[in-house]
Amino acid sequence: MHSLHSRLLLTASLVLAGFLGATGLALDKAFRVSAEAAMQERLQSHIYALLAAADEDTDGRMLPPQQLPEPRFAKPDSGLYAAITADGGETLWHSGSLTWQDIDLNERQNPGERRFSRLARAGMQLYTLAFGVAWEDNAGTESLYTYTVAEDTSVFEAEVDSFRSTLWRWLGGMALALLLVQGFILRWGLRPLRSVTADLQQVEKGHTDRLHGPYPRELSGLTSSLNSLIEHSKSVQSRYRNSLDDLAHTLKTPLAILQSSHADGSDADADRVLVREQVERMDEIISHQLQRAAVSGRATLAKPVAVGKVVDRLVHSLNKVYREKQPTVELRLDPSVSFTGDEADLMEVLGNLLDNAYKYCSSVIKVCVQVDKHSDGIEISIEDDGPGIAPEQVDGVLQRGARMDETIPGQGIGLSMANEIITLYGGRLSFAASPLGGALLRINFGTTD
C-alpha cells in the first residue's frame, strides 16, 4: 500500500460497504418484523370474522360458521385455512380450503389467549394464529373452543423479497454514487501533493530552481523546508565548486615558484628554505579551503546545539594543551542559549577563537555566552589580556585566507576561518578592546527563523 490515494480509497470503500451493508440488514430485519406483525393482525381479524359468522343452536351452543366471511376459506388449496378445535382436542370444524390438505391445525389455547407461530406442515410454510374462546350456552355451561387460522407464507415471502430487492438496488446505487464522489474528492484533495511531486521533478530536471506554489496550509511547512534544503544544497554545491576553483588557482602560485626555482639552479640551502616556505603556504591553502568547504552553513533542519556545552568542552581540552600557561578562564555561560546549526561549525568557530585567546593571553581569559537583548539572538564574547589586535590590523587578519597571496606572517588562518563561518550563518564578528587589556571578540548570531 504505497499510495495515499489507494489507501484512502480502500479504507473509505470498506467503511462505506460496512455501513451500507449494516443499514441494509437492519432495514431488512425491521421490514420482516413489521410484516410479520401485519400478518398476525390479519390472521386475528380472520378469527374475529369467523367468530362473528358462528351460529348457535336453540340451546345456545356454538355451531360452526356456515356463511364464511372470506371466500378463500372455501376454496381448496387457497392458502388460507381455518379450524375449530373442541376442548377435548377433536376437530369440530375445518374450512373447505383444508379439504384436500392433510394439515393438522388442532391446537388448544385458554380463552382469551393466543399463539402466533410459523409452522412447517405437509411441505408448506404456514403462519398460524390460535385463539382460545369460551362459549356459554343458555344453561350457563361454558364450552371451550380454539380457533386456528393459518396462511401460507408464500405471499408474505413474496412481499419481503420484493422489498429486499428494492432495498438492495437503492443501497447499491447509493454506494456506487458515494464511491464516485469519494474518488473525486480524493483526487481533488490530493492534487496539491501531486503538484508538489511534479514541481519537485521540475526542480530535479533543472527547469526551475525552487517550489513556487502556492500550496495549501498543511503543505506549506513541508514545501518551505524543501525549499531551504534545495537552497542549502545549492549553496553547499557552489561553495564546493568555488573552493575547488580557489584551491586549484591558489595552489598554482606556490607550484610555479617551486618549479621555476628548480629550473634556475640556485644553491641547495636557498632551495630548502624556499621549499619549506612554499610547502607551508600550500598546507595553509589546503586546510583553509578544506575547512571552508566543510562548513555546513545555516541548515533549517539542524537541531539546536547548547553553546555553553561546546565552550565547556573546548575550554577543558585547551586547558590540557596549555597546561604550561594555565590561564585563568572566567566563564559566564547562559545554559539556555542554543545555536541552530551544525555543531562542528560552532566548534570550529569557538575553537579557533578560544585557541587564539589561549595563545595570546598573558593569564586571563573571559568567555561570556548570553542572549543578545537587542535582537533576541546569541551573543558570544571572548576576551583576553594579551597584546590585542590593533584596529588597522583587523581587516588584514580577517582577509587572510580570502587573499592567500598576501600572507601575514605569524598569524594563523583561524580568525578568518571563524569569520567566514560566522558570515555563512548570517552572523557578525566584531572586535573591540577588552577592559582586560587585550582583544575582545564578539560574535552575534541573529535569530534563525
Partner 1 sequence: MHILVVEDETRLREQLRDQLRQSGYVVDVAADGEEGLYFGEQYPLDLAIIDIGLPKLSGIELIRRLRSHDRHFPILILTARGNWQDKVEGLETGADDYLVKPFHFEELEARLNALLRRASGWSKPVLDCGPISLDTGKQSITVSGNAVELTAFEYKVLEYLMLHAGEVISKTELTDNIYEQDYDRDSNVLEVFIGRLRRKLDPDNTLTPIETLRGRGYRFRLQANAG
Q: Note whether 335 and 306 are within 8 A (CB).
A: yes
Provide, rounded to whole angstroms, the least separation between the CB of residue 242 and partner 1: 19
Q: Which is nearer to partner 1, 161 or 283 (CB)?
A: 283
Site string for partner 1, 60-89 (x = CB under 8 A): ------------------------------
How far apart, in whole angstroms, are the C-alpha atoms of residue 56 and residue 135? 10
Residue 116: beta bridge partners? 129
Q: Which is nearer to partner 1, 226 or 353 (CB)?
A: 353
Min dist CB 321 to partner 1, Å, is: 6
Query: Which residue's CB is nearer to partner 1, number 133 or number 367?
Result: 367
What residues numbered 328-357 form the site for partner 1, per CB under 8 A?
A: 343-344, 347-348, 350-352
Report the residue number, 29 or 316, with the smaller CB distance to partner 1: 316
Interface positions, 393-412, toward partner 1 (CB under 8 A): none
Beta carbon of residue 338, minimum distance to partner 1 (angstroms, whole number): 18
Smallest gap from residue 411 Cβ to partner 1 (A): 16
When asked if residue 244 is in the footprint of partner 1 (CB under 8 A), the reply is: no
Residue 137 makes contact with partner 1 by CB under 8 A: no
CA atoms within 13 A on the CB side of 112: 0
CB of 384 to partner 1, least distance (A): 18
3-state SS track over the chain:
CCCHHHHHHHHHHHHHHHHHHHHHHHHHHHHHHHHHHHHHHHHHHHHHHHHHHCEECCCCCEECCCCCCCHHHHCCCCCEEEEEEECCCCEEEECHHHCCCCCCCCCCCCECCEEEEEEEECCEEEEEEEEEEEEECCCCCEEEEEEEEEEECHHHHHHHHHHHHHHHHHHHHHHHHHHHHHHHHHHHHCHHHHHHHHHHHHHHHCCCCCCCCCCCHHHHHHHHHHHHHHHHHHHHHHHHHHHHHHHHHHHHHHHHHHHHHHHHCCCHHHHHHHHHHHHHHHHHHHHHHHHHHHCCCCCCCCCEEEHHHHHHHHHHHHHHHCCCCCCEEEEEECCCCEEECCHHHHHHHHHHHHHHHHHHCCCEEEEEEEECCCCCCEEEEEEECCCCCCHHHHHHHHHCCCCCCCCCCCCCCHHHHHHHHHHHCCCEEEEEECCCCCEEEEEEECCCC
Q: Within 307-326, which residues bind partner 1 (CB under 8 A)? A: 313-314, 316-317, 320-321, 323-324
Alpha-carbon distance of 153 to 176, in angstroms, equals: 34
Residue at grid coordinates 362459549: 135
**CB 370 → partner 1: shortest distance, Å?**
22
Write the burial class of residue 385 (CB in 10 Å: 0-12 exposed, 13-18 middle, 19+ buried): buried
Minimum gap (Å) between residue 283 Cβ and partner 1:
5
Interface pick for partner 1 out of 204, 283, 402, 408 (rule CB under 8 A): 283
Does 302 participate in binding partner 1 (rule CB under 8 A)?
no
Cα 23 to Cα 14, 16, 30: the distances in Å are 14, 10, 11
Minimum CB separation from partner 1 for residue 276, in Å?
A: 8
Identify which of residues 261 and 287 has a Cβ nearer to partner 1 in the complex. Answer: 287
Count of residues in contact with partner 1, rule CB under 8 A: 21
CB of 361 to partner 1, least distance (A): 18
Q: What amino acid is encoded at 426 in this protein? A: G
Q: Which of 294, 302, 371, 433 binds partner 1 (CB under 8 A)?
A: 294
Using CB under 8 A as the binding rule, whether residue 287 contacts partner 1 is answered as yes
State the nearest-atom distance from the C-beta of 233 to partner 1, in Å. 21
Q: Which 26-45 residues touch partner 1, going by CB under 8 A?
A: none
Confirm or reject binding of residue 422 to partner 1 (CB under 8 A). Answer: no
- Which residues are bridge partners to 148 per DSSP? 83, 130
Which CB, 163 or 360, lies closer to partner 1? 360
Comparing CB distances to partner 1, the nearer of 157 and 343 is 343
291 is a contact residue toward partner 1 (CB under 8 A):
yes
Out of 279, 331, 390, 408, the residue judged to bind partner 1 by CB under 8 A: 279
Return the residue matching grid coordinates 539546536: 304
Q: Which is nearer to partner 1, 194 or 316 (CB)?
A: 316
Shortest Cβ 307–partner 1 spacing (Å)? 14
Nearer to partner 1, 264 or 269 (CB): 269
Binding site for partner 1 (CB under 8 A): 279, 283, 287, 290-291, 294, 313-314, 316-317, 320-321, 323-324, 343-344, 347-348, 350-352
